[in-house]
């Protein structure tokens, strides 16, 4: 199962994709405004970038400790 998730882009990517998909469906159904949609997209992208950055820093620190 873990390999299949990684083949699809990883947990972080799938969670971001799912949240944007749900948000888009809510926008199309007129349940949220375009301003709320914009805010959710900005927050989701920011969280994705932050998660990747934190992981890279942690991985690089772990690599230096093991050397």
C-beta separation of 19 from 51 below 8 A:
no
Q: Is 16's pLDDT higher than 70?
A: yes
Q: Where are the alpha helices (DSSP H) in the chain?
A: 2-7, 11-28, 34-66
User: Average pLDDT in the 33-61 region?
Assistant: 92
Q: What's this model's pTM, rounded to 2 decimal places?
A: 0.73
**Can you give the residue ranges of every domain in the chain?**
2-66
Report the pLDDT value the prediction gives residue 59, as an integer from 0 to 100: 85
Q: Is 66's pLDDT higher than 70?
A: no
User: Average pLDDT in the 4-29 region?
Assistant: 87
User: Average pLDDT in the 2-11 region?
Assistant: 74
């Amino acid at each position: 199962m873990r390999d299949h998730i990684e083949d699809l882009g990883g947990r972080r990517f799938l969670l971001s994709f799912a949240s944007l998909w749900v948000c888009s469906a809510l926008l199309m159904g007129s349940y949220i405004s375009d301003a709320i949609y914009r805010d959710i997209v900005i927050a989701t992208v920011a969280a994705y970038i932050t998660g990747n950055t934190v992981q890279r820093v942690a991985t690089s620190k772990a690599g230096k400790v093991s050397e």
